[in-house]
Structure 1
Amino acid sequence: MPRSLRVALTDGQQREPHAFLARRDLTAYTRQRAECIRFLDRGRTVSEVADLLECHPVTVRAAVHRFADGGIEALPDAPRPGRPAKPLGPDDRSALAELLDVSAEAGITWSAPALRDWLRVERGVEISADWLSELLHRDGFRGKRTRDSVRHKANPVLQQAARAHLEDLRPCGRPHTPENAT
């Protein structure tokens, strides 16, 4: 039978989880790990703690091993790999808002990838098109689908001339009707 994990904190260590849990900047997983240590110190078993915190017993055991290896300082999440994102600052947002306002007055529409490219070239900001769309939505900008057709830009005079030219090209001079179109 496997040996059960127990945590026995000293008097000085018992204050650490309480002070740690009082912080407001903890992620949900960090808070969960600290709660695991606190409940195990009170004599609960791994399965009881897992039931209380609605997690897997492996999660509870991992929190105990983290705590045993590095104390309360080992409970927070490890830093994420990769380059940190450069935020879209207030100056960048105001320049983007001005561009969109001026473009809207001129009847110009922008796609998110085109705005992303504009930000990269003009402002030196790297951002994904999806995240940019989300930020614009939060700032109150509403997008709409661009038209798939250019019929709204067609010149009616040129269209009529093209229809007349097509009628002249029909064989035998028959007018085009749905019955004889085969």
Structure 2
Amino acid sequence: MALYVRTLKPEESGRIEEISHGLDPELARRARIVQLSAQRVGVHEISRMVGLHPINVRKWIHRFNRLGIDGLFPRRSPGRPRLFSEEQRNAIVGLATTDPQELGLGFDAWSLQRLRIYLVKQGVTPDISAETIRQELLRSGLIFEDRRWVTPETTR
């Protein structure tokens, strides 16, 4: 079964025409897809004409049919969700800047692996990698100096 855009409203036709001649080449290409599909040009032919894979041509036709002109504009993705809450992040930083001997542990400096084991045992997080701990500590502004994680203000 052939896929085409729905019948364009008069105001949509004008706006699509404007967009197809606009400065944003990606947006213009999407508008061109809608124009060609409205003229009953098939997906594979549109694909060759605009230089996109047929899957992407179908995606833009479906988005236009569902959302109208707004569907042609890019959606901003919020990105990957945060792995840890602010409370967990504070616990990681707090632990890294605490002397392990104050907690009754038998060593005088934290390694990333020791931090990982302690955080999981204490239930701060169900699982965490040493690399993630390192990144969180760096993101929090800590630096590793003399076998300890310290804030820049406490360095020599």
- For normalisation by structure 1, the TM-score amounts to 0.41
Pick 1 or 2: higher relative contact order, CA cutoff 8 A, min separation 6. Answer: 2
- For normalisation by structure 2, the TM-score amounts to 0.46
For the pair shown, the structure with the greater C-alpha radius of gyration is 1
